Every structure is written in structure tokens, then in C-alpha cells.
Amino acid sequence: MLHVENLSVAYRTSRGLVHAVDDVSFRIRPGRTLALVGESGSGKSTTALAILDLLPKRQSVISADGIVFDGLDLAGADAKRLDAIRGPRIGMVFQDALTSLNPSLTIGSQITETLRRHGIARGADARTRMLELLAEVQLPDPARVAGSYAHQLSGGMRQRALIALGLCCDPQLLIADEPTTALDVTIQAEILRLLKRLRDDREMSMLLITHDLGVASEIADDVAVMYAGEIVELGPTARVLGEPAHPYTRALLGALPSMDAESPRRARLTTIPGSPPDLVAPPPGDRFAARIDPDSAAPPGTPSPDLVEVAPRHFARVVRSSHHVPAL
């Protein structure tokens, strides 16, 4: 469904180019969900926006060997071709529903405008379809919600409305950027159940962006763990989270609280020492190594380790050098 090959993105700043995404590659198969996981600043949202060419032209530099969606290469595609893809074939649920929804337009008018813009429906048909979408995402009293503004809805209702907006053109692939951020755990669970049901009912694929491994484990078939602009581990969710091969993945799992009374994580969480690297000048070699062992810094010019298949369909940037990067 989607094949991203060697995608790199840099931002122009007064200090130089910030290498936000560096040679990222992954595939999403039809009907499956891939979760991009990592801390803030790891490059997850930039990757998603670059796929749809939504980054500012003056501030960003994008290169890729290919961004192939359903046989069509989006890398370098013109505006007309991209307009035929964005919305009708690839839907987007942007981060933070309150700021993503237009505060000066009602929820219903934003959905009907999208339906008209892409030639899906007009007039009374557009309103009927809009109300059907609001009902499909399980919003109570769709007519009242349609006449409401974003600030008049709760966080969970806004998120459902944003999902309806992303789905209104019946896309084959949905990109959901942090769809459960700032929601309480009960509403998070409801949104995840909704996304899973919509994915299965519509037989669509999904790219889920999240910093929460718990969210990824609930909905994703495959997981790609990002750190400092690179994918450091990639594979089936059960395998990556059950037998993590990269120290960063193990560190993220160690920072999760546990409800298991026997788990040491119940008493004290493990923290990740240090800070993410400066991406104006990314460190050589394994970008995570020096964060947990300052003495393991690679000499200048050392390339980042390649993704190695450590098990069937399970890849990790395994360090192949004389120093040892300890597990956390």
C-alpha cells in the first residue's frame, strides 16, 4: 500500500540544516497498521507530513528514493496529482484537534466543505453524508455536533470529529498523528477501539504516530521505533515489544509503568539518562550509544549502523563495533 524508501528531511535554520529525518524506509501492507514510535523530536510527524508534501517549501529540504503509494510515486509529484491523493486516497488526522479544526467554522461546515472540494457530494447529499460520518465515529446527536464549533466540544468529541474529517473521502490509507494525546485513559481507549473498528470495517491501512508504546501495542500490527531522525528498530509489534533488540527500545519499555505487583517497574520507573543529540550535527555511529555510555562515542566519520535482520521480519540497528552498548 505504501513504500517509503530512504526518506530524508532537513529544516533550514540560522544554525544550519537540522536533519530531522535521515534515510527512513518502511512499508505498510494493505489492511495493516504501522506505528511510528519515539519521543518528541524523533522525526515521526515530520515523516508523515513529508509523505504528503505538507512541509513548508522554504524551510525544508526533502529527498527520497521513492514514496510509492499503491503503485504511484509521490516523491516529486506535482500539485494536481497530490490533490488527487490527499483526502480521497490518503486521509490525515492531524495532531491536536483543538488547533487542527478551524475555530471559526462549525464542525459540519468543515466536513461538507471537504466533501464538496473533492467532488464526493454536494448540497443536501453532502449534509446527509456529513451526518452519517459523525454517527459512524459514534458522536451522540450528530446534528447538534454539526452545528457546534470546536471549542464547544469535549476533547474526545473533537477527536472523533477530526477522525470523521479524515475519513470523509473514504481513503485507502489513514495517517493518524498522535490521535490520543491529551485525552484521559478512558477516552484514549474509546478512540483506539474506534480506529480499529473503522480500519477493519473500511478495510484500510493505517500509519499511526505515537510516543506511547501502550497505544502501539493495542492497535498496530508492526512497529517502527524512531530515535534522532532514524528508525532504530522495525518489525511485528509482538516481536519488537516482546524481544526488543535495540537499547533505545528497551529503554522506552523500561520507562513504562506496570500494574504487575511483582514488577520492579511498579516501585520505580527507569529513566533514560542524557538528552537527545543535536541534529544540526548528529553524532557519528549509533546515535543512542553515547547517551547511555559517554565513553562509547564513535570516532568522527563513523557511519550509523545498518538495520540488521535479527529475526524474521525484525530489524534493528545492531552495533557492530569493539565497544559494548549496555542494555538498560
Positive or negative: CA dihedral 171, 189, 29, 245: positive
What residue type is assigned to position 210 of the chain? T
> What's the confidence (pLDDT) of residue 284?
84
Domains and CATH numbers, the chain: 2-89+171-248 (3.40.50.300)
Alpha-carbon separation of residue 197 from 62, 121, 187, 193, 209 (angstroms)? 34, 24, 15, 6, 18
Q: Is the pTM of this model over 0.85?
A: yes
Q: Using an 8 Å Cβ cutoff, are 230 and 285 in contact?
A: no
What is the grid cell recorded at 194?
474506534
Does 238 score more than 50 pLDDT? Answer: yes
pLDDT band at residue 324 using 50, 70 and 90 as cut-offs: very low
Residues contacting 242, CB < 8 A, separation 6+:
none
Q: Using an 8 Å Cβ cutoff, are 86 and 23 in contact?
A: no
pLDDT, one tens digit per residue, over 249-278 is 998 988 877 666 555 555 567 788 888 889
> What's the confidence (pLDDT) of residue 304?
83
Beta strands (DSSP E) in 129-262 are: 173-177, 205-210, 222-227, 230-236
Whose CA is closest to 167, among 195, 142, 125?
Answer: 195
